[in-house]
Structure 1
Amino acid sequence: MQVLFVASECAPFIKTGGLADVIGSLPKELTKRGTETRVIMPKYGDIPAAFKEKMAVKGAYTVSVGWRQQYCGVEELVHDGVHYYFIDNEYYFKRPGIYGFYDEAERYAFFCRAILDVLPHLDFVPDVLHCHDWHAGMVSVLLNAQYRHLPFYQTIRTAFTIHNLKYQGIFPYSILGNLFGLGDSYFTYDKVEFYGDVNYMKAGLVYSDLLTTVSETYAQEIQTPYYGERLDGLLRAKRNSLFGIVNGVDYDVYNPATDPNLYVNYTDAAGKQMNKTALQDELGLPVNPDIPVVALVSRLVQQKGLDLIAHVLEEILEIDLQLVVLGTGEEKYEDLFRHVMHRWPNKVSAHFLFDEGLASQIYAGADMFLMPSLFEPCGIGQLIALRYQTVPIVRETGGLKDTIQAYNRYTGEGNGFSFAHYNAHDMLDTIRQAVHYYHDKTVWFGIVKNGQNTDYSWNESAKQYQKLYEWGQN
């Protein structure tokens, strides 16, 4: 079985979120397990020069974008045993950042077309094209509409993974013909039309042979109007080919015993305590091992439950704890944390940037990890927290519900704390409960041990993907 992942970002080359972590780690595990898996993605200008210098040119071609012929280079790099291909076009991709440009429809139309055009030149014939999120959504449409009649493409099957249904790639009707050369027969409610526009995500859902998303609970949630982002009817219709497989984390990368960013590498409570006191000292907080440190490492947006935190932040800070925040996002939330940091300098340390080194230090130094999301397809923060012996506090939604089991004081089971309703005071009560048990070290270390005993590496999830690839071939 040979699989080609198609995605817009991939760690360690370039990253804005959890998608990049998945694309950077799952192919490694699949390849180890005998499914040769490669990755193809854009060659962005912001990819570090150290990687670009190692890329080997595979070829140069032309790709049709509407009536225009655009240059398309292909470069290859082998990293950690996985082959990566990079689609090169400086006009589309040599820009600061990845997303948010005026011509997103055209950039990823070019990318989807380029994938199919260069496939015969890669010396790698995939059994499955595994496309990820809306940026790759038009691959399956184009394959079926314009390439399937050619012998090379006739046996290729497609899988499509939803990483976040909220972001769909919705663009004006005119792009259908202007960028893809597709006629009005494709602009119907059961194909790519979406309330008068073209929807790249919907295209991937309609035309792919197999659909997955990143947790079992999210697979069920998105079939309801509340979570379905106006695609719930389609997802219910496709439910027999929709599967939820929880994401994992790369245990080689996220490993407190070897992480080079930490103050002290550790495997036990004593080593973690050393990281905690070093973090408190580094951030200018009072060094006190008896005060629990609660971490928030997140995009500062509503989806992540920031409005819940804002509603009861004053009450949270009345608890005997320290709050450490790392992330960027909406100005109102950044201003909120700036304000409370000014009022409670001995209780709050907030940092508005993306810094993986500091993030690792926070995961290692914190006692609790707060993740009260409005919705969460899978979430990676809570899995990293478990890996670093930090106890998650989450809302029961999506992958958070699938991976964090609330502590049960009668049985001793559970690897964290959780609340069900999207309610600020339910969250506040759960934080208070966690702080209460933090001071009972017998209970607390039992919860930490339960977290250490849960395996959220890619091992089990990779097995499930392999079974689906085989199922999709039948």
Structure 2
Amino acid sequence: MKIAMVTSEANPFVKSGGLADVTFSLSKELVIIGEEVAIFMPLYKSIATSHGDKLQLISEFDVSMSWRRQHAKIYRTYHEGIIYYFVQNDYYFLRDNLYGYGDDIERFAFFTIAVRNAFKALGFKADVVHLHDWQPGMLPVLIKEQNKNDPFFNNFQFVLTIHNPAFKGIFDKYFLNNYYELSDELYDSGMVRFENAVSTLKSAIIYSQKIATVSYTHRDELLASNSEHGLSSVLELRRNDFVGIINGIDYAEFNPKADKAIKYVYNGVNVSKGKEENKRALLNHFNLEYRGQPVFGLVSRLTWQKGIRLITAKTDFLIKNGASLIILGAGEKELEQQIEWLRSQYSDNIGIYIGYSSELAHLIYAGSDFFLMPSLFEPCGIGQMIAQRYGTLPIVRYTGGLKDTINGYNGYNLETANGIGFEYFDEEGMQYGLDLALRLYQDKEALLTIRRNAMKLDRTWKKSALEYIKLYQSLLGV
């Protein structure tokens, strides 16, 4: 199959979050299996600066956006068997950040139209066009409405993956024609209308042949009538075409048996030794004393959604029970300041790094005993699966992908447990998880069994990629 991934970000060229990991890792696995994959994405300033010498200009053309005439250049490079096509336009993309501008809707309207035009300019007749989130959401609308009589596009099939339903690409109906040169009839008929505006995400849900999200439980949550994301009525129309497929993790990057970022490599056989050696190194990194204590780690964006307030509310409890807490992340200033204050109060037991460091993240995964992830909502989650790979037991709230990937220890399921979980997003739930973790830490035999359970899990991308291939094939009659 010939597959076009259309995304706003992808490793190894640019990343702001998990979307970049997913688009690259899924594409890489599909190539390994034998599919032809190309990733279409914007040429941001950071890419031009860091990788410009690796890019080859292969096409250029004008892009019409109502009264606007912009120019697009298409650059190509290859990485891990994947073809990357970058859409260049300095007016829209030669900026310091990926997102967060007042004209983001216009920027990605240009990108979407340019990708449609690039398909034909490059002669790229995709079997499947796989869209990721809201940014390219209008692509199937454009092709099905404006190119329906063009035989070049006759056999294009569209799949949408919803990674973050909180962002829906909302804009006033005026710009339906002003950006995309589409008729207001699409709004009036309800095809692209969402809450008295246009939504690129809703449009993609309606116009794509298949829709996926990144876990089974998150699919059910999005379909629920009380879903906070407000997409249930739209997705209900497509229920039979809507699936959940859990993300994988990159086993080459996250491998305790060969990880150069950790102090002591290990496997399931010598996991106890490996954890202790890496714990010593982790504590030493923050100038904290090693006392044989349990270490609770956190690698996360510091936002309300991630349950950071539940963690800060229970920090005093953890410290008084002899534990240490290591936090890596950045986000909401108020939460950053609260965490800094906690370090000032418990400087002998808390290590904090505000920002991100891949090397330190690996050491936290390897050196912690427990990994904190008490999210309010979590479509899939990657951190809990990485933690399991390193034998670090996740403490999660059961939601979305966390519910699908964690079999929480309850005292009776030692042979199958691979973490700790609780139901309710409140301090009592968090307390339950921490109490259970502290008790489990004292039972070294049980702790070792659950660590090994976690490390045996198959979280590779191959399983996910095969599910996507099955989805693609259902569209192609294979």
Instruction: Give the equivalent residue in structure 2 for 1:394.
Output: 396
Mapped pair 1:442 → 2:445: yes
Q: Runs of at least 4 residues of structure 1 off by over 4 A?
A: none
TM, length-normalised to structure 2: 0.96
Aligned counterparts of 1:13 and 1:278: Cα–Cα separation in 2: 31
- CA displacement at 1:319 relative to structure 2: 2.5
Mapped pair 1:331 → 2:338: no
The count of corresponding residues between Structure 1 and Structure 2 is: 473
Mapped pair 1:245 → 2:245: yes
Instruction: Give the equivalent residue in structure 1 for 2:280.
Output: 277
Conserved? CA contact 1:165–1:228, under 8 Å: no
Conserved? CA contact 1:176–1:198, under 8 Å: yes
Instruction: Give the equivalent residue in structure 1 for 2:207.
Output: 207
- CA displacement at 1:308 relative to structure 2: 2.3
1:291–1:188 CA distance, 2 compared to 1 (3 A): farther
Instruction: Give the equivalent residue in structure 2 for 1:342.
Output: 344
Instruction: Give the equivalent residue in structure 2 for 1:421.
Output: 424
Conserved? CA contact 2:391–2:454, under 8 Å: yes
Aligned counterparts of 1:313 and 1:65: Cα–Cα separation in 2: 53
Aligned counterparts of 2:93 and 2:135: Cα–Cα separation in 1: 13
Aligned counterparts of 1:336 and 1:217: Cα–Cα separation in 2: 32
Conserved? CA contact 2:313–2:427, under 8 Å: yes
> 364, 369, 372: which is aligned to 1:370?
372
Instruction: Give the equivalent residue in structure 1 for 2:385.
Output: 383
Instruction: Give the equivalent residue in structure 1 for 2:475.
Output: 472
Aligned counterparts of 1:347 and 1:126: Cα–Cα separation in 2: 55
Aligned counterparts of 1:241 and 1:370: Cα–Cα separation in 2: 34
- CA displacement at 1:5 relative to structure 2: 0.5
Aligned counterparts of 1:232 and 1:226: Cα–Cα separation in 2: 8
Instruction: Give the equivalent residue in structure 2 for 1:169.
Output: 169
- CA displacement at 1:48 relative to structure 2: 6.9
Instruction: Give the equivalent residue in structure 1 for 2:116.
Output: 116
SS of the equivalent of 1:134 reads: coil
Conserved? CA contact 1:319–1:432, under 8 Å: no
Conserved? CA contact 1:312–1:425, under 8 Å: no
Instruction: Give the equivalent residue in structure 2 for 1:38.
Output: 38
1:312–1:123 CA distance, 2 compared to 1 (3 A): same
5+ residue gaps, structure 1: none
Aligned counterparts of 2:249 and 2:52: Cα–Cα separation in 1: 25
- CA displacement at 1:358 relative to structure 2: 1.5
Aligned counterparts of 1:115 and 1:228: Cα–Cα separation in 2: 32
- CA displacement at 1:386 relative to structure 2: 1.1
Q: Which amino acid aligns with 1:197?
A: A
Q: How does 1:95-244 map to 2 (within 5 A)?
A: 95-188=95-188, 190-244=190-244
Instruction: Give the equivalent residue in structure 2 for 1:287.
Output: 290
* Post-superposition CA distance 1:283-313 (Å, at most 9, x none): 111123x211111111111111123224433
- Percent sequence identity is 39
Aligned counterparts of 2:445 and 2:188: Cα–Cα separation in 1: 61
> 400, 405, 408: which is aligned to 1:406?
408
Conserved? CA contact 1:42–1:87, under 8 Å: yes
Conserved? CA contact 1:221–1:228, under 8 Å: no
Q: Which amino acid aligns with 1:185?
A: E
Instruction: Give the equivalent residue in structure 1 for 2:266.
Output: 266
Aligned counterparts of 2:31 and 2:157: Cα–Cα separation in 1: 19
* Higher alpha-carbon deviation: 312-321 or 81-90: 312-321
Aligned counterparts of 2:189 and 2:229: Cα–Cα separation in 1: 15
Conserved? CA contact 1:10–1:19, under 8 Å: yes
- CA displacement at 1:119 relative to structure 2: 0.5
* Post-superposition CA distance 1:320-340 (Å, at most 9, x none): 211111111111111111111
TM, length-normalised to structure 1: 0.97
SS of the equivalent of 1:442 reads: helix
Q: Which amino acid aligns with 1:455?
A: D
Aligned counterparts of 1:386 and 1:122: Cα–Cα separation in 2: 43
* Higher alpha-carbon deviation: 159-168 or 44-53: 44-53
Aligned counterparts of 2:122 and 2:357: Cα–Cα separation in 1: 35
Mapped pair 1:430 → 2:433: yes
| RMSD, aligned CA | 1.5
